[in-house]
Amino acid sequence: MIRFEAVTKAYADASPAVDDLTLEAPTGAITVLVGPSGCGKTTTLRMVNRMIEPTSGRITIDGVDTASMDPARLRRGIGYVIQHGGLFPHQTVERNIATVPLLLGWDRAKALSRARELIELVGLPAALGRRYPAALSGGQQQRVGVARALAADPPVMLMDEPFSAVDPVVRDQLQEEFLRLQSHLGKTILFVTHDIDEAIKLGDQVAVLRVGGRLAQLAPPAQLLAHPADDFVAGFVGRDRGYRALGFVAATLPVRPERTVALGSTVGAGEGWVLVVDDGRPLGWLDTARHPGPVDRSSLALGGTLASAGGSLRAALDAALSSPSGRGVVVDDEGRVVGTATPSDVIAAIEAQRAESAAGGGAP
């Protein structure tokens, strides 16, 4: 657990960058610091590994005051990932990743084999280990940055906008993999971003900071969306928050049975949209009016999203809205079709869920 106790940082001749911050980042969870540019997120993060010294207040990790530790030793025990990777251009990827283990005195062979293990863990091809950073794409460099921070298996990780320098598609992919990794590793993570969507997607809890480094709200993402503490948070959380909040509401959808057909079977022109599957898994929708006859893979309409049976109402609504047939495909854990739901089915479920929580006076 990382604890900030009344921490203030004032740079010379300026109003404080971080002002009287009290915050707890629980063990094994992702705490996201989010806020507009210049609100003191980086300063907050860097005070944990003493890259910046607080003006006043105390920061403890598992009860130990960081001010009492040697800064270099403290940092070797904390994974640190920065926006542009900060990889050493003169060293191979492997050698970059092995940095902290080597500093800790591991023998070279062990450190390098650990590096190779991590290359795989972060989803990079093993051959990249002997390349130099300049030969890597931005997304690959960020993965190496994460691998390097994980190398000595530190319990605590600090991540400063690690995914903001890559394009949106790669970012999405990195976020997914980051969550998958964290579900195995269970690190205590302090994660900085200026992107509220990223904060909501990744955070177990989200701390919203306002300019001047004051904590505006600390809450789990669902609560932040449903009950912003004030106008600043409501404004920052943004326009689509009603829709995004659905992401935290589990669906209890009345799923309609859906007729499915296999590739190669024959359909008639009057059958409307039919769902084509392979071994129960959806391949796509087919417009029988345009492609009557034997079902051919190339005539499928692709692009509809899938909702999982136990998933969120947001995913269900998105599946219903994005389906060319107007019926969203719901699948089970194995990815097999369970049935479909229309947009009005989902809206009805949302309203039912509302009525229920209003009656219970409970959670959002």
Partner 1 sequence: MIASVWSWLTDPANWRGAGGISSRLGEHLGYSAVVILIAAAIAIPLGLWSGHSGRGRWLISAANAARAVPTIGLLFATSLWLGPHVTGDLAFTVPSILVLVLLAIPPILAGAYAGVEAVDPAVRDAARGMGLTGPQVLRKVEVPLALPLLVSGLRSAVLQVVATATIAAYVGLGGLGRYLIDGLASGRYAVMAGGAVLVSGLALVADLVMAALQRLAASPGLLPPGRRKRRSDRPDAGPDPPHGTTVDVPAGQDREGSRTHRR
Contact positions with partner 1 (CB under 8 A) in 144-163: 148
Whole-number minimum distance, CB 37 to ligand ADP, in Å?
Answer: 5
- Phi and psi angles of residue 162, each rounded to the nearest 5 degrees, phi first: -70, -25
Whole-number Cα distances in Å, 112 to 97, 124, 135, 156, 262: 8, 15, 20, 22, 49
Contact positions with ligand ADP (CB under 6 A) in 43-82: 43
C-beta separation of 293 from 266 below 8 A: yes
Retrieve residue 337's tokens. 């079709």
42 binds Mg ion (CB under 5 A): yes
Retrieve residue 338's tokens. 């369970």
Retrieve residue 356's tokens. 């229920």
Q: How far apart are the first and last CA of the chain?
A: 27
Whole-number minimum distance, CB 166 to Mg ion, in Å?
Answer: 16
193 binds ligand ADP (CB under 6 A): no
For 331, other C-beta atoms within 10 Å of its C-beta total 19
For 291, other C-beta atoms within 10 Å of its C-beta total 16
Contact region with ligand ADP (CB under 6 A), list: 41-49, 110-118, 130-138, 353-361: 41-49
Q: Which of 26, 28, 38, 254 binds ligand ADP (CB under 6 A)?
A: 38
- Round to whole Å and give the CA distance between 195 and 165: 12
Whole-number minimum distance, CB 85 to partner 1, in Å?
Answer: 6
- Phi and psi angles of residue 252, each rounded to the nearest 5 degrees, phi first: -120, 85
90 binds partner 1 (CB under 8 A): yes
Q: Which of 43, 99, 288, 340 binds partner 1 (CB under 8 A)?
A: 99
Whole-number minimum distance, CB 168 to partner 1, in Å?
Answer: 17
The entry of partner 1, ligand ADP, Mg ion, none near residue 171 (CB within 5 to 8 angstroms by kind) is none
Q: Which is nearer to partner 1, 83 or 305 (CB)?
A: 83
Q: Which of 4, 30, 42, 95 binds ligand ADP (CB under 6 A)?
A: 42
Retrieve residue 174's tokens. 């990195």
Contact positions with partner 1 (CB under 8 A) in 5-44: none
- Round to whole Å and give the CA distance between 80 and 106: 19
Residue with tokens 């669902």: 222
Classified as helix, coil or strand, 340 is strand
Using CB under 6 A, list all residues that contact ligand ADP. 11, 14, 17, 35, 37-43
Using CB under 8 A, list all residues that contact partner 1. 49, 51, 72-77, 80, 82-92, 99-100, 103, 132-138, 141, 148, 165
Using CB under 5 A, list all residues that contact Mg ion. 42
